[in-house]
Structure formats: structure tokens, C-alpha cells
Amino acid sequence: MTLRPDRRLRVLVIDDSALVRRAITDALAADPEIEVVGSACDAFVAREKIARLEPDVLTLDLEMPRMDGLTFLRILMRHHPLPVVVVSSLAQAGSQAALDALEAGAVDVLAKPDGTMSIGTLGERLAFHVKAAAQSVRFRQRRPEVTVTGPVTPAVAPAVRAGGRQLIVIGGSTGGIEALRTVLPRFPRGLPPIAVVQHISAAFSRAVAERLDALCSLDVREAAEGDVLRPGTCLIAPGDTHLAVEFVAGAYRARLLETPPLHHCRPAVDVLFRSAAEAGGDQVVAALLTGMGSDGALGMRAIHAAGGATIAEHESTCVVYGMPRAAIEAGAVERVLPLPTIADAIIDAVVHRSRRERHG
């Protein structure tokens, strides 16, 4: 799907509450690049309006009468795939539904704030996610099918020296949760510590970490202030909190920061990447995955300047080719690779640095 430059982005709002439909419509209408072409109270009304109005993006609640949103999403992706941003209180309440929606094909999931009219507080954030969904590559060209069913152990497990400064940092945004489900399960436990910033709601960052932990041989968990990053561990930035690292007494430690958003994002990839460049220098291996915007480009450039390894996801497998492209255009990326090969490239970079360290 390619939008014509002479028209605004067409959005259909699907929610069983008339007040919520009005609030979402008002929030999106404030953006001059978006036109809300209609709304629907359930999946059956939505089906008719999709055919008649030809929207570019849908917003979708998961709790609806006659047919729940998740069932509708699965049917939609099978028969008439469109970019979908889920806006649901279920994402806030339990998070399992949010992850199920992403796996079913939603581009992004936002937790509906408490209170009907507080939807309006999503404001620019909601518009940002809707515009990111519209840029989704998956609805414009066929992407390689990548299925992860359980832990995958690569053939090479590099030796990691205790107390060494090797560190892996990964950043992503729109589509990044599913990308992490491809990359992380391929890692063996012997890798250096890993820190991840994924643009994510505070409502389900812990659930994402738990889901990834179940798929991986690594110990994956949500980061806490002062956590020691050890080999074989992967810390995920909590939603709405920046994650940085520092090297103290022979080990990396996590720092959680409540400083203002960067690039309208908190957590921001640049905060993690810049701290990694300062703490680890040429011992850092960084990967930037799918996402809208430019977050991560400046941090990637800092890592590149310090001699670290830098990898970006190729446009062909990105859900949204924004963040990787910004880093590439900044001259900060050594290797540009499709998603299924990124894990092996990270391992290769770690092995190379381990050998270089051993042989001086």
C-alpha cells in the first residue's frame, strides 16, 4: 500500500463504545495528515465499511459484541490484510491479549487509558502509531516468512571472558516485538550480556519479557535499577522508562532514567546506545531493528565512532523502514541484513571481538 501524496491517511475507528469512537476520532483529527473516514461499533459493521470506505489503517478494540476483536483481526489478516493499530483496555489489564494481537498481525498495540474520555490524552502518540502502521512494508510487499517455535541454539557459542566489556545492545520500535522473537531465540547462553530498548507501553513490557524468556535459552527479564548484566542475560527496558548502562567494578549495571522523552520516545534507543558507546567502546555490538522515526541513529553513530560493530535490518524485512534507514543514512552502519540473518551476524561480531581480545 502506497499513499498518494495528494490525500490524507484514511482511518476507520472500530470500538463498541460511541464515546471512545468519538474520542479517538477527535484525537486523530487533530493531525492534518489524517482523515477519519468512518467508525464501526463491531466487526460486522466494520467489514461493510472497509469494503465501502477503503481505509488505509484501522484502529481496533479487542472487546466487542458479536465477534471479539482478536477473532476479527485473524479473519481480516487472512482475507483482507490491512494495517491495524489495536487500542484496547485489555492491553493494559493483562497484556497477553496484546501479544496475541501482535502475533495475529496487528502492527502495534496501545493500552487504552483508564476512563473513556482519557483516550484523548493519547493525542500525538496515537497519530504517530497510526502513521507508522500506514508505512508498514508488510502490506506493500511480500515479506519472508519467519517462524519461531522454540529455542534455537546456533552452532557457534563464543567464549566470553568474565569481567570483559563485551556487550550487545538492540533497539526497535514498530514491529520490533515480533522481530525480537526471531533474533533472541537464536542466541546461546554463552553470549555477552544483552540490553534491549523496544518502544513499548508500560502496560505490557513485563509480559513481553516473559514471553521472550519462554522462547529463549537466555535469561530474559524486564530491567530493574542496578541490575548486573551478566553473560547469558537479556534485560528489556521497562515501558515509559529510559534504560542506560554503566561499567562499574568489572560489570555492566542497568540505570533506569525518568528523564524526558527523546524523539517523543521513552524508552529511547539513543539513550541506551550512547551509554553503551561510552561504557563499552569497541566491545559493543549494536543492532537496530524495524521502527518508525530516527531513534537510534545518533547512538549507533556513537558506537560506530567508538569502534563497535553496527548492524541494521534490511528494508525487505522491516515492518517500518524508518529507524534503520536513518542510521544507514547517518553513515553509522557496517552491515545491513534481513532479519533472519541478524542473530548470526551479531554472534559473528562477538566471536571476532573475542578472538581479537585473546590475541591482543
Residues labelled as active-site residues: 173, 199, 295
Q: How many CA atoms lie within 13 A of 350 on its CB side?
A: 28
Please provide residue 140's backbone torsions phi and psi, each rounded to the nearest 5 degrees. Answer: -115, -20
Pairing of strands 251-257, 242-248: antiparallel
- Helix/strand/coil percent split, the chain, to 5: 40, 20, 40
The C-alpha cell that represents 126 in the structure block = 496515537
What sections of the chain are H helices per DSSP?
Answer: 18-29, 43-53, 69-79, 89-93, 96-104, 123-134, 176-183, 205-215, 269-280, 297-305, 323-329, 339-358
Element (H, E) at 39: strand 34-40
Note whether 78 and 109 are within 8 A (CB): no
Q: How is residue 140 annotated by DSSP?
A: T
| Per-residue exposure over 292-319, b if at least 16 CB sit within 10 Å of its own CB, e if not | bbbbbbbbbbbbbebebbbbbbbbebbb
- Rounded CA-CA distance 42/22 in Å is 15
